[in-house]
Amino acid sequence: MTNVIAFWLAVLILGAGAADLVLNDGLALSFVLRKFLDLIEWVAFWR
């Protein structure tokens, strides 16, 4: 991955998070973070 691609990917992710916070009170972001924490817990169980 080049630096340009990494930069635009970071801008896209941060922009989506900011838009979610402004337009949706961060509900989608908190949902994704909760599911990510569940995934980490599930992976740690199978370790």
- Output b/e per residue, 9-33; b: 16+ Cβ within 10 A: eeeeeeeeeeebeeeeeeeebeeee
The ranges assigned to domains in the chain are 3-46
Handedness of CA 12, 1, 5, 8 (dihedral sign): positive
- pLDDT for 39 equals 95
Q: Residue 29: what pLDDT?
A: 93
> What pLDDT shows up at residue 45?
80
Q: Is 19 helix (H, G, I), strand (E, B) or coil?
A: helix
Q: What averages of pLDDT result for each successive group of 10 residues across the chain (47 residues)?
A: 96 96 94 95 85
pLDDT at 10: 97
